[in-house]
Amino acid sequence: MPVPLPDSVWLSALALLGLALGSFLSVLVARVPLLLAEDAHPGHVRLLARLSWPPSHCPHCQQRLRLAELLPLLSWLRQRGRCRHCQQPIAWRYPLLEALMALLSVMLGSRYGLTATFAAALLCCATLLALAWIDAETFWLPDLLTLPLLWAGLLFASLASPWQLTASVWGAAAGYAGLAGLNAGYRAWRGQPGLGGGDAKLLAALGAWHGGLALPWLLTLAALGGLIWAVCTGPLRARRALAFGPFLAMAGIALWLWPLPLWLAWMEY
């Protein structure tokens, strides 16, 4: 009979897993926009090549980083947020993504335990966090990430039951049709797009993961978050464009952490 791990050991293992995943996300977030700037429709082979080469280096002095400088969060703290070679500041993106993924890993692991649902939730939330960051910085939700996220949601549902797969298919279809139709109507009315095509694909992916009945909640949470952000930071008053993808992604993560008991109960299988 296996001996259960103490809570402290279990939580520490989850945090370390999240830190490692967050370190990978920081590379993904930094390099995907560069790849898209070179080629608007790169394949996943090119993405893997870009993620693996060149090796991690300082963006200022181009000095290759040693293993001790790649320790998630710890190396940033030890170096006081600066490159040890040129003393230029290290972007806050790196430690923040690592810390957020560590927190998410602990919260998801505490909720779902060491199950297939935990692994799927962690994968989904990591992808959503990367998409949120990329869209916030570049107004781009790349197909390289949204489409695999969609297919992964459908595959995950298919492992549960035929009923869950049906719910996910309809959720994906309704999510895409809803925002794509809204964008088409706005374009016909104002002569310009109101939403990017990536937003519709992201909502389709969220519909695949969470089911069609969760779509109203996803949109409500995202719209409320976007409105609060716009009022507090000024884009609404200044009539500046506001990326909607980060708020959709945060709503999707929130429904993993606090599932709606009626239509998200199938995630407890």
pLDDT digits (tens, 9 = 90+) for 201-225: 999 999 999 988 889 989 999 989 8
Q: How confident is the model at residue 43 (pLDDT cuts 50, 70, 90)?
A: low
Using CA atoms, how far apart are residues 260 and 217, in angstroms rounded to an integer?
9
| Domain parsing of the chain, residue ranges | 1-113, 115-269
Q: Could you give the percent of the chain with pLDDT greater than 70?
A: 68
Q: Could you give the percent of the chain with pLDDT greater than 90?
A: 30
Q: Span 172-200, mean pLDDT? A: 76
pLDDT at 155 over 90: yes
Question: CB count, 10 Å around CB of 247?
Answer: 25
**pLDDT tens-digit map of 47-101:** 666 666 666 666 656 666 666 556 667 776 676 667 676 767 667 778 889 899 9
Secondary structure of residue 59 in the 3-state scheme? coil
pLDDT at position 269 is 39
Q: Span 228-257, mean pLDDT? A: 80
Using CA atoms, how far apart are residues 98 and 21, in angstroms rounded to an integer?
7
Name which of 128-142, 195-209, 253-267 the model is least confident about: 253-267
Q: What is the mean pLDDT of the chain?
A: 79
- Beta bridge partners of residue 91, listed in sequence order: none
Q: Is residue 5 within a helix (H) or strand (E), and if so which, with residue range?
A: none
pLDDT at position 232 is 78
**Residue 94 half-sphere exposure toward CB, CA atoms < 13 A:** 23
pLDDT at position 1 is 39
Phi, psi of 89 (to 5 degrees): -65, 145
Q: Which residues of 48-66 are buried (b: 16+ CB within 10 A; e: fewer)?
A: eebeeeeeeebeeeeeeee
More confident residue, 256 or 59: 256
